Structure 1
């Protein structure tokens, strides 16, 4: 009897031992995977839209596909990581998008001392600035630090996208690519620019009076259809409270109408792709200033800065401003009786048909991608008012394809 009992128990013990061994192996594998971030070299080679943690040193601020500032930082919208703190080759870097919740802690303009720090960043491995990138980060922490809400957090509002990043050469990815943008798909550089100009110049031209009604529609407050949202201040104000009085809203030319001296005549002066509601006082402060970073706080416009030669809007609309300016440069090429508008690197353009700074505008566009409000606005303009689109709202990667 004892011998039979022993025979029954041993197989059960063996089975339990096997299960424990398998569980241990699986747990060990999971722990090893979780504890081993990718190197930057691995991240550069693994741009497959997967969510990964990457470890590297902060080596600068990316401002273009192959340009990284290592001093004189212009904004808090992105950082570049490398496997060594002294790396200068952009081909060995991964560009990290800093969405709103990370900018005040990790942005180099605000915290230049972050340069050289080793960090772990969790995000989506996909192109950024038409370069190997890590987007929509859900966690950032200094290596060796104790996690705290300031330095490392899993963002409760962040979402992970597995959508393939649009190609900088114009690969079809959008709903209008097989129709409206069909002639532009597959092109880049000057060919893409010329094609987009031919497409978007076909529009219904509004009068300056019609702009009032258009803006009441295009800039409607999504939480209150009786109001509009002012672009720089972000204030929600009654759509009927328009005019020239203090605390009313009026028609702001984002591309200042004196830059090219086109005024309010039908055409660039009435193109609602760059006309927005704004508080009368804030509109006056902006005047015809070029766009750049820095300055002193602007009254009635939280987050806005201004100095003698430039204006900086609040973070939430920096990309909107950039894409409006770049739309104007593509739409008005000097071949239809209007000035040839161009962005440049100056902040003293006067009445010349230029506006700056291009490098800053590109960084703003990359750091503040189109949101639901901007996309709806583009659609309403297309469907109801001008029947043309801002291509940089539909394809923000085309900014780098035209202005590398």
Structure 2
């Protein structure tokens, strides 16, 4: 498995830093608002119910012009659970893998699994492989149905708590370098727990790589191949469905920018090329304006860059938008937003922090929810 380029290492380190600072300031944790209630709209601040997924995107009343539509909206998943590829997974153990850091790790027991990262995608992958019943704890980003009631092993948002981990007596830990402190990870290894470190990179193109590593480490490679095939097909089908409603003329396609904010911490980032947000925007049929202005990775926002980008739509995390007091607060705190078409039209699309960049088994559902908010906002049931 190839290692990350220096650029990507810096990009993901920047995301971890930004989220870590924000978490400490606003206590991003496992709040009840994203635990998956009766409505199933985990993490969303929508005032209406999510649109049922049995209505295809092409059958919805589309916005006449996604570039000039006025009003904010929330993208939300109608079902926050993870469907496993098998209900009788039978790991073949011991399993030996060389992880993303070049460490040879042997896993002899998968009865008590911890899967921890800043995105919640590793736990979703374990559940997708059919090993959800063996997961004994969770990080603050793992909030999907079936996992939200597990004991929390992070504190102050995304900080690993060594005592909480050891109390759960895990037989194996799957993690990556997006979550820390790293000393805690090393402490787990010193305690004799097998720790498998995956790539921290998350995008639509490396889902199979991530699933493959987790599946191999847990002794279920065949389930990994099946899950990869399923997720890949789902993503391809969703991208095709989105393409069918995307304006054919590039000039008519929405110009989209991913803005990460944590108002209480004074954190304002633009996510550009190699951040994962760029692949998300392209899959949604939009034009990645951060890439147009040469924005690499995750970097602190400047008013000049925001105005230069001139986005039609801003993608944001729900709690980030809430941290600045909603759209009104965003326009007040960042006056440059008002100088963009997105700000003038209040065209902000937010989605749960724990879903929007959680590339993995739910990638197609995330794309579908965002596409509905972008191309059929008046039909989404989530317009505010």
TM > 0.5 = no
TM-score range (shorter-chain normalised) is under 0.3
Q: Which has the larger radius of gyration?
A: 1
Q: Which has the higher helix share?
A: 2
TM-score normalised over the length of structure 2 = 0.24
TM-score normalised over the length of structure 1 = 0.23
Q: Which has the higher strand share?
A: 1
